Chains A and B, each alone.
Chain A
């Protein structure tokens, strides 16, 4: 009975039109408001490394931001500060960013350890265990005004030696190239040595703080080649990866490392967390904090996806047969 009454008052199409115009009236101002209040966010990016070595990860980070609606040049400004391997410059750069000011600071890798006493929130991506680094009471409870994620690079060193041991029969001698100034480097070395001991390997450690030390290390290894080289991935290593790998290959020595970029440059295999995934994930923390979340409320995440990259071309060049058990696990196979 009533619907008849309605129809008499307003035809359905007329009613829809009316409804649409009411909706338009209600929604339009909100839309305008949303547009005009589209805030311009300013974040700082600080790292101890050089720009070139971080390019793919920075891209992943920016992709993550874009996925969440942050576009550089539109609603986001990123202020980049590279210490260019001079880690002691990080506090100064961070303070500089804080003065701009920026809404928050993204500290890549070791730079996170150098930032103290800033009032702005800090998002970090670190290789080390954040609890032992003193960044958190537990993964669930980050301390202070900082949170982020761990790349869990430390634990992976044992797994890498295990892989080498599986790939190369009669493995006895492995050389490790690492930058002792990279925080957590000693932990990586420790994990490597423990696994080596368990697998019955001799581990030679070559500290490479700079190019001179690297050159010296490569010369030493050329004179007495190890059966394999494990490179502890840090900015310095990434930067000089071609030289390391080419030198090793010329002496028939396979190289293993953590990040796929090494496999792409000729390392026989790499195993580690999917770093691009982790850098992309950093954008999530940025988003949450820009939207008002407290860093302490955002637990520290560990990588959930790991990546095994195998370079069959290098293996073939070295006359090494990659066992099926390894090849079957590979996420990326370079042929």
Chain B
């Protein structure tokens, strides 16, 4: 049964540590986590918003640059329709066109149509020029478009399935100025588009409304023309961007990178400029912020764990010390000191424990002493002696004492004949009866001698009227034992009881050795009392002259004359107490 006990004793301490640790850790970590998580979430949202805004700004900027490229061409084209088609102006028109082609390398060829819609001039960088071609271009969509909106952008077409070209037509301010139709090699937008960088590895590209790649930093992609799978992925990005409204689109770009893209419209030719940034790069600040938050949370959690561990240790350590101390004190080691210097309530508690141990030590010593005193003193007297710090009372001194002897008559014969159980049972009853009376009268018990008892009064604690008290006690003892003996006699045991008292000076004190001492009186009065007792018949309480003199009228005494007593040279006067007059003994109050 011991092992489970120690285990049960060990477990709660661990649990307390765990409880403290958990509570402290949770108290720090939960708010930290909640705060970190909310910050991470809001930070993420803000960063995504910032990213979206940045990419859209980049997209608008890219769209602006493409528009700038086109505006350069249309501005230059305007110069070719600045003058009307009148006689003698042909050379002037040609000159304007040549200058335009010198200025704008992207223009591959220019056709001028006069106010009547008749083709007047065709200048190309590659093909032979045509002057006064004379073709009616009135139904040419370029001419119609330019006439209705000043500037007309044709669809993107691929030269030999590769280079993207577009026709741009510009009408003059007056109809007579005609229309200039230019074929523009869109490959040259590359100069513009390749210069656009988004972040470290992000770039821009342009798609037309049907999703055909118009411009891309990787010119090969543009030149591959229709049906290229890489370009198809960009078309998917375009669809995602259109579907997403003003939001950024996520997808796979031509280089198979996972990207975040934003779109901005290019109104004139109805194109769309896209900027894209690899998701990994675009989200780097977000990821960094999340990592930072995570690491700080981890650091915070570790710090909290450390703090919780230290605090829990600080709290449970003293408690363990207290428990150990209590165990030691419980085992009777009252000199055990609990050393706790935490400066808080626990230190106070330890102090209380130590004080308690000291007091327990004192108390135990006291109760040990009382127990020793109780061997011969009545309990109340013992406590009185102990408490009053009058242990000097026990020191040997001469005192006027009343010595009381009592014993059974015919007991030796009885004990020889009767069964041991019966002998011991009888003695038990007998001593129980006497014990109560001895205690009551606060008599000092010096010794048992079989069925005989020697008692003292007025020593070690003085009492008033010791003689009267002794007589009263003797009478009471006689009465009590006599009532017991009625039963014994009924069982056929011929046993009697006699009491003898004497008063006189005697040396009183403790005799014995370490751990085993008795209190006794030595002097002739002891012998006298013993002899008087021996002289007493069953039912008699005999007293000497001194006692008789002191009892006075309190009891009726019957002088029995002098009796020769062994050990005494002269015969000694002896008196018998007549108990019948006083059936009820008024017991003096205990001190």
* B99: nearest chain-A partner, CB-CB: A328
CB proximity of A64 to chain B, nearest CB, Å: 14
- Min CB distance B186 to A, Å, is 10
Q: Which of A140, A293, A297 has the most CB of B within 10 A?
A: A140
Q: A304-B105, A328-B102 are in contact. Are A297 and B223 (CB under 8 A)?
A: no
The contact string, 1 if C-beta is below 8 Å from chain A, for chain B 98-141, is 11011001100000000000000000011111000000000000
Q: When the two chains form their complex, are residues B223 and A301 in contact, meaning their CB atoms are under 8 A apart?
A: yes
Q: B220 on the interface (CB 8 Å rule)?
A: yes
A291 to B105, CA, bound (A): 31
Asked whether B299 lies within 8 Å of A9 as measured between CB atoms, the reply is yes
Q: Does A121 contact B (CB under 8 A)?
A: no
A2 touches B129 (CB 8 A): no
Q: Which residues of A contact B127 (CB under 8 A)?
A: 155, 158-159
The answer, among B102, B187, B299, for a CB contact under 8 Å with A329, is B102
Q: Is the interface of B mostly helix, strand, loop or mixed?
A: helix
Q: How far is the CB of A10 from chain B (nearest CB, A)?
A: 9
Among the stretches B157-165, B355-363, B569-577, the one at the interface with A is B157-165
Residues of A in contact with B, size category = 20 to 34
Quick one: which of B98, B162, B220, B299 contacts A325, CB cutoff 8 A? B98
Q: Are A305 and B161 in contact (CB under 8 A)?
A: no
Contact of A131 with B by CB under 8 A: yes
Q: Is the beta-carbon distance between A288 and B220 smaller than 8 angstroms?
A: yes
Q: Type the 1/0 row for B68-95, where 1 means its CB is closer than 8 Å to any CB of A.
A: 0000000000000000000000010011
Known interface pairs A140-B225, A299-B162. Does A329 touch B98 (Cβ–Cβ under 8 Å)? yes
CB nearest to A285 among chain B residues: B220
Residues of B within 8 A of A158 (CB): 127-128
Knowing A5-B300, A299-B223, A305-B105 are in contact, say whether A138-B162 is a contact too (CB < 8 A).
yes
Minimum distance in angstroms from A323 CB to a CB of chain B: 10
> A293 vs B225: C-alpha distance in the bound complex, in angstroms?
17
Determine the distance from Cα of A138 to Cα of B225 in the docked complex, in whole angstroms. Answer: 10
B223 touches A328 (CB 8 A): no
Q: How far is the CA of A162 from the CA of B99 in the complex (A)?
A: 17
**Min distance, Cβ B160 to any Cβ of chain A, angstroms:** 5
Q: Check B128 against A159 for contact (C-beta < 8 Å).
A: yes
Residues of B within 8 A of A301 (CB): 187, 219, 223
A117 CB, min distance to chain B CBs, angstroms: 25
A298 at interface, CB cutoff 8 A = yes
Q: Does A195 contact B (CB under 8 A)?
A: yes
Which B residues touch A237, using CB under 8 A? Answer: none
Task: Verify A329–B101 contact, CB threshold 8 A.
Answer: yes
A87 to B105, CA, bound (A): 35
The interface residues of chain A lying within 8 Å CB-to-CB of B224 are: 140-141, 297, 299
Closest to A281 in B: B219
Q: A123 at the A/B interface (Cβ < 8 Å)?
A: no
Please report whether the interface of chain A is mostly helix, strand, loop or mixed according to DSSP: mixed
Q: Which residues of A contact B365 (CB under 8 A)?
A: none
Shortest C-beta distance, A283 to chain B (Å), equals 14
* Minimum distance in angstroms from A299 CB to a CB of chain B: 4
> Chain B residues with Cβ under 8 A from A156's Cβ?
126
- How close is A181's CB to chain B, nearest CB, in angstroms? 26
| Contact yes or no, A139 B161, CB < 8 A | yes
With A5-B300, A297-B224, A325-B95 as contacts: A152 and B126 at CB distance below 8 Å: yes
Interface residues of A in 288-306 (CB under 8 A from B): 288, 293, 297-302, 304-306
**How far is A191 from B368 in the complex, measured between Cα atoms in Å?**
139
Residue of A nearest to B288 (CB): A19
- Decide: A300 and B162 in contact? CB cutoff 8 A: yes
* A14 at interface by CB-CB < 8 Å: no
Q: Is B294 an interface residue (CB 8 A)?
A: no
A324 at the interface (CB under 8 A from B): yes
- A140-B225, A195-B128, A305-B105 given; A324·B95 CB < 8 A: yes
Nearest opposing residue in chain A for B218, CB measure: A288
B102 and A325 contact, CB distance less than 8 A:
no
Q: Is B39 an interface residue (CB 8 A)?
A: yes
Residues of B contacting A302 in the complex (Cβ-Cβ under 8 angstroms): 163
Complex CA distance for A198 and B128, rounded to whole angstroms: 10
Q: How far is the CA of A108 from the CA of B20 in the complex (A)?
A: 83
Can you list 15 A-B pairs, Cβ within 8 angstroms, ordered by A? Answer: A1-B35, A2-B296, A9-B299, A140-B223, A140-B224, A155-B127, A158-B128, A195-B128, A288-B220, A297-B224, A299-B220, A301-B219, A304-B105, A304-B185, A325-B98
- Known pairs A5-B32, A299-B223, A328-B102; list 17 more (Cβ under 8 Å): A2-B36, A5-B296, A9-B299, A138-B161, A138-B162, A139-B162, A140-B158, A140-B161, A155-B126, A155-B127, A300-B162, A300-B223, A301-B223, A304-B105, A304-B185, A325-B94, A329-B101
Q: Which 5 A-B pairs have the closest CB atoms?
A: A299-B223, A139-B162, A140-B225, A140-B162, A138-B161
